[in-house]
Structure 1
Amino acid sequence: MTEELIDQSPPPDPDPIQNSNLIIHPRRVPFEHGLLPIQKLVFTDPIQTLAPIKQKLASLATNHRVGSAAISDALSISDDHARLVLETLSSVLHCETDPLVLAKPEEVDSVGADLRDLILFLYIQSYKKLLPRTHKDSASVADVWPSTSAFDGYLSALSPIQLVRSNSRRFMPSPTDEEAHQLSYLQKHIANIISLLAEPVEGQGDDSLVLSMESLEHIGFLVHYGDKGFDVPSLSQATPFFANSDPDMPAVPVPASQVNDWLLKDIASALESISNRISGKENGASNASDQNAAMADSSVALNKVSSNDRGPCIIEGVSKTSLFKQASDLKGRSVKVANCHDSVIYLLAPLRYATVYGCSDSTIVLGAAGKAVKVEHCERVHVIVATKRICIANCRECVFFLGVNQRPLIVGDNHKLQS
């Protein structure tokens, strides 16, 4: 009878990771929009610092959730900064049904954040952005420009004028470079991250840590599985541990070391895939410099991606022209406008996230952004947008026409901003 039941059972196909088309990806949004320029949140040794902070937060939590008062107490930050932590976390959470995401502005403090999401959010505050490649003749593109990013403390970015003078767009990290950088960061820190989410087996102490299916789902704040237009909606369904779990019965926790090995293997595989893609492009692009120079004049590099979190639609290198895009032209939930000069750009589509980076002497009109907008390293740019929250960093002589739900966050070295 047992053999007959086994024979009739379906093959373990629901384990999507067996599908070679599915690759692990970092969630771009927390690294792009979730970093706060609050020095007390940047830990030199996150695991050593966050372990006792987690214990203190747990003692102050109600149903595994912590409000701004508990965050302020545990992290020794002001009430305003604690509120900013909650608001920023709500804008980059992976779970759209989380109470913090659904909370009204006046409810944010009382609803609070899930402790596990908060710990992951605090951990990645130590992430450092990928540095641009240095221009070989920096003196020829010298310019007075805010040189320190408010988000990582040392990123020295080329100004829009430098980019125009030197055709230095090719020195800026590509989305593929950034994805590899984020994966490398996760590869280095995933063991610590898992240990912060894991729980000791009763009676065996910290030497035997296990991870529940519910806790595993929170790692979806940082990574997701999918490729070629298909995403696995639940992280547990991408695992060999919980893919066939009965939703009506609690799944048995698995050893944290097993989850760590599984994630490390898939991260290494994804990094190898990215490396192969980059090598293939370099080998087949002998005239890349000439192509870049031509694009910098008056063209649009629009990278259309499917509706997932792997990356934004990129509009780059628009110069001395007008550009109009509507919803049907932008195949994704986010957009990045980068290194555009002396242009007028209309993106009249509903968005979740938008980034305006390294633009100058331009007018940029964005459709309503439901989550967040970031404007960084821009000069003499007019930005017109309605959004839930906006962060402005290291800009000068810019004018903002804003419809926002939350007070704008203006950080870094800014000069002569108008709103």
Structure 2
Amino acid sequence: MSVGSASSKNTEPCLHVRREAFEYGILPLPNLLHSDVVSGLKNLRVKLFQEAPPISTWALSINSNASYTVPASGDRKRVGTEGIAAALEVTEAHAHLVLDTLASVLNDGGEAVDLLATTPVTEIDSVGADVDDLLIFLYIQTYRRVPSRPHRDAADVADVWPSTSAIDGFLPALSPLQVRSSTVSRRSMPSQAEEEVNQLTYVQKHLPNLLNLLAETAEENSNNKVITAEQFEHLGLLLKAKNAASELVNLSQAAPFFANSDPDMPAAPVPVGQVLEWVQQHICAASESLRETSLGKDEKEVMDVNLAESLASEAADVTMADATAGPVSPTPSSARTILVPNGVVHLSNNWQPEGVTFVDGVMKASVLKREDDIQGDSVKVAHCHDSVVYVLAPLKYVSVFGCSDSIVVLGAVGKAVRVEYCERVQIIVPTARITIANCRECVLYLGVNQRPLFTGDNHKLQVAPYNTFYPKLEAHLAQVGVDATVNKWDRILTLGTVNPHDAFIHPAGSTDVQSEGATLLQPEKFVTFSVPKWNEADSEQLLTRANPFLLPKPYLLAQQHRCKAAETLKQNLKTALLEDGKERELISAIQGHFRDWLVATGNIRQMYGLQALDRLDRSSSME
């Protein structure tokens, strides 16, 4: 390659796959899948258009976003919950879930933003979904996560957690500590790099179908398919464009055949083949350290045959740094190579996902992440054991994966939370939406605007109303659009069956049963969780001083009863007429029982962890 051609390539835009659609947008609804996806969705388009009311009936001015405009053609078709239910032949509850999930993964940045992406969660039914956005969303329901790497021996098979938990009585359990101390279980799971490459591969493979789904014929009695700038923008659900300065730009403005077109005089439609060729030339891995090179024809043929095996065996294992040591990001131990259909992706030894902050591998410690510690708008808390993790920041997406015997306290999450493969974990979160999959013996304290979704192989889960606050909570809720007056924590939605194709081993017959939901935590077991105050300067500002989510009456009465009992005991101890010796014995006994309780519950380590965090916070504020 000449110097001039290399320089020219560096000035061209790059198209990256948006991981949110795949990580938070896949639903276990069989009605969303078709044996022939393209023809099935084209038939569905006709049904959706029949169910879509005229554009004038939609309240498109609701919470209007200056960046959103109705196309000049005026024929944009939108469909709401009732129309989706009728077209897909599903219940209205499932249709609403489809609409809500689409709203949570639509791109909400840049100028070409659909109103559904920025509408408050409680009002999405009054806006509805653009039919083309909905069709793209339904198409990607065919996506399957990258499979785990094949186990090589009996020891590897045994070292799978938490699916080999003792609570199901089928297989002998390893303790979480044993699993965490072994590298085998990590290697049996797909890494973030593999997931990203799998998403890239999927989009590359299905681009022709996706473009044909959006395309229209150039003229009557013609087989030539063309795409307009408006139709091309619908790929923004899956792709984002960056210019040479790494700034996000509208997808259509990145394409030379649509760039700088006037909305009043839009650019002429472009043949599908031309659009496909341009996208294929400019699509690449999103993370900066994933670099792609081309393969020869023979190599491509070999790769197409062995792609699944290549993804499973050749991709890098991501080794995580200790989260207590500073900002956490995954870094592989050495550079690796991942094969994809049109090339080779090189994973450099400083690889990290773009826009995601990791809290990974925390063992027996307390970790605090606040706004200044977060890079991007997504956080992944993964592989933490016997720890307390505080992520007190406004976020769009959070994933909690593979944790055990821990407490995870999250700040306000405006788009979606996903909790997977966790055991004996307390999740405390105010969010718009949450999905729980393949978890055991967890308690979820929720302030949630939409019905919590439970899917997969869940066991002995409990839900309870949100039970804490921190100084900037109300400001963070407002920032990400979570409504504290709406809490659907107890309106559980359970979907699907146990997935036989996930990365864990399941007991025989478990893949034939319906997913298990959750029970409500008994009010007498409900307790308020106190978030420590690390920064005293916060007290001078207008801050949250109580739980902004209203407690249901049974939980409020139970809390009041507990507080009253504690106050009564305190007063009785104060007024007890005891001799000096007896009083000292009583104080000593109380202190001894308290110490025993701290040790037995493991809370003494949490106290030491909080003290360490407080010292760290004080030292950083003095600098």
| Structure-2-length-normalised TM-score | 0.56
Alignment equivalent of 1:75, drawn from 88, 98, 105 = 88
Any idea what SS the aligned residue of 2:180 has?
A: helix
Match of 2:268 in 1: 252
Residues 15 and 284, structure 2, Cα contact 8 Å, conserved in 1: no
Any idea what SS the aligned residue of 2:405 has?
A: strand
Match of 1:375 in 2: 419
1:261 aligns with 2:284: no
1:108 aligns with 2:108: no
**CA displacement at 1:370 relative to structure 2:** 0.8
Alignment equivalent of 1:180, drawn from 173, 183, 197 = 197
What CA deviation, in whole Å up to 9, does each residue of 1:338-396 have, x standing for no partner?
11111111111110110001111111111100111010110011111100010111100
Cα distance in 2 for partners of 1:408, 1:370 equals 14
Residues 389 and 407, structure 1, Cα contact 8 Å, conserved in 2: yes
Runs of 4+ in 1 over 6 A off after TM superposition: 268-273, 296-301
Residues 26 and 310, structure 1, Cα contact 8 Å, conserved in 2: no
Match of 2:401 in 1: 357
Alignment equivalent of 2:238, drawn from 222, 226, 233 = 222
**CA displacement at 1:31 relative to structure 2:** 0.4
Task: Please provide the CA RMSD for this pair.
Answer: 3.2
Larger Rg: 2
1:138 aligns with 2:156: yes
1:332 aligns with 2:386: no
**CA displacement at 1:225 relative to structure 2:** 2.1
Any idea what SS the aligned residue of 2:290 has?
A: helix
**CA displacement at 1:18 relative to structure 2:** 5.0
Alignment equivalent of 2:45, drawn from 36, 39, 54 = 54
Question: Aligned residue pairs: how many?
Answer: 378
Cα distance in 2 for partners of 1:159, 1:132 equals 21
Cα distance in 1 for partners of 2:50, 2:176 equals 48
What CA deviation, in whole Å up to 9, does each residue of 1:216-245 have, x standing for no partner?
111111011238982332001211111222
Cα distance in 1 for partners of 2:361, 2:424 equals 16
Cα distance in 1 for partners of 2:197, 2:243 equals 15
Cα distance in 2 for partners of 1:270, 1:387 equals 26
Residues 321 and 328, structure 2, Cα contact 8 Å, conserved in 1: no
Match of 1:39 in 2: 30
**CA displacement at 1:61 relative to structure 2:** 1.8
Greater CA deviation, 44-53 or 341-350?
Answer: 44-53
1:119 aligns with 2:135: yes
Residues 323 and 367, structure 2, Cα contact 8 Å, conserved in 1: no
Give the partner amino acid of 2:392: L
Structure with a larger share of its residues in strand = 1
Greater CA deviation, 254-263 or 227-236?
Answer: 227-236
Match of 2:14 in 1: 23
The 1:262/1:160 distance shift into structure 2, 3 A limit, reads: farther
Alignment equivalent of 2:79, drawn from 54, 58, 66 = 66
**CA displacement at 1:180 relative to structure 2:** 1.2
| Structure-1-length-normalised TM-score | 0.81
Cα distance in 1 for partners of 2:160, 2:104 equals 37
Residues 27 and 310, structure 1, Cα contact 8 Å, conserved in 2: no
Cα distance in 1 for partners of 2:288, 2:388 equals 39
Alignment equivalent of 2:435, drawn from 391, 395, 406 = 391
The 1:295/1:94 distance shift into structure 2, 3 A limit, reads: closer
1:169 aligns with 2:213: no
Unaligned runs of 5+ in 2: 1-6, 56-76, 166-173, 294-315, 331-352, 464-623
The 1:54/1:271 distance shift into structure 2, 3 A limit, reads: farther
Give the partner amino acid of 1:251: A
Q: How does 1:159-308 map to 2 (within 5 A)?
A: 163-167=179-183, 168-205=185-222, 207-226=223-242, 230-267=246-283, 274=290, 292=319, 295=321, 302-303=328-329
Any idea what SS the aligned residue of 1:303 has?
A: coil
Give the partner amino acid of 2:46: Q
Give the partner amino acid of 2:127: V
Give the partner amino acid of 2:328: L
Cα distance in 2 for partners of 1:76, 1:358 equals 35
The 1:140/1:67 distance shift into structure 2, 3 A limit, reads: closer
The 1:42/1:334 distance shift into structure 2, 3 A limit, reads: same
Residues 315 and 335, structure 1, Cα contact 8 Å, conserved in 2: yes
**CA displacement at 1:263 relative to structure 2:** 1.2
Match of 2:500 in 1: none
